């Protein structure tokens, strides 16, 4: 007997498929099975699932349907998405599964397209302990904050997988987020939010950075990006029904949308909570500091970074004690000639500790910091203790009081 599935909204189905494909495109698994979506169909809804190869990250998406019977199967996500993109908003979509030939028909008035499906599918279920000790473990974040975290995670390429995490925790009574690749550190402190009322009791945890890079892909979808709030909840344990992996603490990140709900399930690594040392890296006072217009800083930086041929993209920042300005310079030597360029940052105001200071720093890291700080601020505060210490870059606080500090380690000769 063939299974007939009437799709209530093919746009909602496309959103669900795109959410799952964000995981597939990010992980790029070589095992062919992980390029497929697992689809679980009940009488009134369809649940789509995708996971990475080591089963530490799973995306589940739901959309409404009317089905003649319940069934589970695997389907090629890339080909399915290609078919859905051909549909017009006015098209009505029906899916027909033919078990005898393992074929699936996508049927609308304008065309019918057939692809293969596979009945060897996986399933999983949550196993949550009823006797929670820490009370409610659900936290609500503004989507804009998640976009910022996802954007930061996208810029930070970890030295190894152990460092590829986003730290959530409390510092000095406020909620903080930190991302580091051992050379740079983005440290964000944001205030309590009446609309996000659970932030005050947030649990210290380290969530894998690749989860946020997938969120970054998902938020490019117009329907998902309009979600005002994102729910993050901590589960006591999470178990696949085939017992293929041991129980582990996980986080569910839920994005409600018109199509139903998109959920990302992330297994937490065992590398501790929020390190107290992060806040200690930001000195209370600095011997050298400068305030610059971000636009002018970018102009000076772009002039200098095009000259350098150094493999570390090195430019030199000079805190001038004489002219009280910040100066960017770089040099390169090719064919026996030395090219050198120096550019003072227009409008910069510099304060130094009696003598000038030169700090060598990676121009790409500087550019990343200026772009991120420039999202909410027109000026940047730059501070340093010595040429051996990290350069601290801070933008103006946003309207809601969010603070972002960006630390970059210098290039040591």
Domains of the chain in start order, with CATH, are 3-122 (3.10.150.10), 126-273 (3.10.150.10), 282-408 (3.10.150.10)
Predicted local distance difference test score (pLDDT) of residue 308: 72
Predicted local distance difference test score (pLDDT) of residue 275: 64
Task: Quote the CA–CA distance of 109 and 54 in Å, as a whole number.
Answer: 41
Q: Which 8-state DSSP code applies to residue 231? A: E
Residues 317-357 pLDDT 10s: 888 887 888 888 888 766 555 567 788 888 778 888 778 88
User: What does DSSP say about strands 205-208 and 288-293: parallel, antiparallel, or unpaired?
Assistant: unpaired
Predicted local distance difference test score (pLDDT) of residue 130: 42
What parts of the chain have a pLDDT lower than 50?
29-33, 126-136, 194-200
Give the up-direction half-sphere exposure of residue 263: CA atoms within 13 A in the CB hemisphere. Answer: 15
Predicted local distance difference test score (pLDDT) of residue 114: 92
Q: Check residue 109 and give left, alpha or beta (phi > 0: left; psi -120 to 50: alpha).
A: alpha
Where is 315: in which H helix or E strand? strand 314-319
| 372 Cα distance to chain centroid | 14
Predicted local distance difference test score (pLDDT) of residue 309: 66
Sign of torsion, CA 51 57 63 69?
positive
Question: What are the residues whose beta carbons fall under 8 Å from the beta carbon of 140, sequence distance 6 or more?
Answer: 195, 196, 197, 198, 199, 229, 230, 231, 232
Question: What are the residues whose beta carbons fall under 8 Å from the beta carbon of 280, sequence distance 6 or more?
Answer: none
Predicted local distance difference test score (pLDDT) of residue 94: 93
Predicted local distance difference test score (pLDDT) of residue 95: 93
Place of tokens 């100066």: 327
Q: Mutual orientation of helices 294-305 and 363-373 as an angle, nearest 10°?
A: 160
């Amino acid at each position: 007997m063939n299974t007939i599935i009437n799709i209530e909204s093919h746009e909602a189905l496309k959103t669900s498929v795109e959410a799952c494909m964000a995981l597939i495109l990010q992980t790029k698994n070589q095992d062919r099975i992980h390029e497929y979506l697992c689809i679980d169909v009940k009488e009134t809804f369809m649940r789509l699932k995708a996971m990475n190869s080591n089963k530490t990250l799973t995306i589940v998406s739901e959309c409404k349907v009317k089905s003649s019977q319940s069934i589970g199967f695997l389907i090629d996500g890339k080909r399915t998405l290609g078919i859905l993109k051909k549909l017009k908003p006015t098209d009505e979509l029906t899916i027909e599964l033919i078990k005898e030939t393992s074929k699936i028909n996508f049927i609308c008035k304008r065309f019918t397209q057939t692809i293969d499906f596979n009945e060897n599918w996986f399933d999983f279920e949550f196993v949550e302990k009823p006797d929670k000790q820490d009370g409610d473990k659900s936290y609500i974040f503004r989507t804009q904050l998640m976009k910022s975290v996802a954007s930061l995670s996208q810029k930070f390429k970890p030295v190894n997988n152990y460092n590829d995490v986003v730290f959530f925790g409390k510092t000095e009574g406020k909620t903080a987020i930190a991302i580091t690749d051992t050379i740079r550190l983005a440290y964000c402190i944001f205030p309590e939010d009446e609309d996000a009322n659970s932030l005050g009791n947030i649990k210290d945890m380290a969530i894998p950075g690749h989860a946020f890079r997938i969120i970054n892909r998902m938020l490019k979808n117009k329907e998902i990006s309009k979600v005002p709030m994102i729910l993050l909840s901590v589960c006591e344990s999470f178990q696949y029904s085939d017992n293929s992996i041991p129980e582990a603490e996980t986080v569910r990140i839920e994005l409600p949308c018109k199509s139903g709900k998109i959920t990302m399930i992330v297994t937490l690594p065992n590398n501790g909570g929020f390190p107290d040392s992060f806040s200690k890296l930001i000195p209370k006072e600095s011997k050298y500091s400068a305030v610059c217009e971000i636009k002018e800083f970018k102009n000076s930086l772009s002039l200098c970074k095009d000259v350098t041929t150094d493999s570390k993209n090195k430019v030199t920042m000079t805190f001038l004690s004489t002219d009280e300005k910040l100066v960017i310079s770089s040099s390169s030597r090719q064919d026996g000639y030395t090219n050198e360029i120096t550019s003072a940052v227009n409008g910069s105001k510099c304060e130094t500790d009696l003598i000038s200071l030169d700090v060598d720093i990676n121009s790409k890291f500087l550019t990343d910091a200026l772009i991120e700080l420039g999202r909410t601020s027109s000026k940047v505060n730059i501070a340093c203790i010595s040429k051996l210490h990290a350069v601290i870059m801070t933008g103006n606080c946003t309207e809601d009081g969010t603070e972002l500090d960006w630390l970059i380690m210098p290039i040591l000769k």
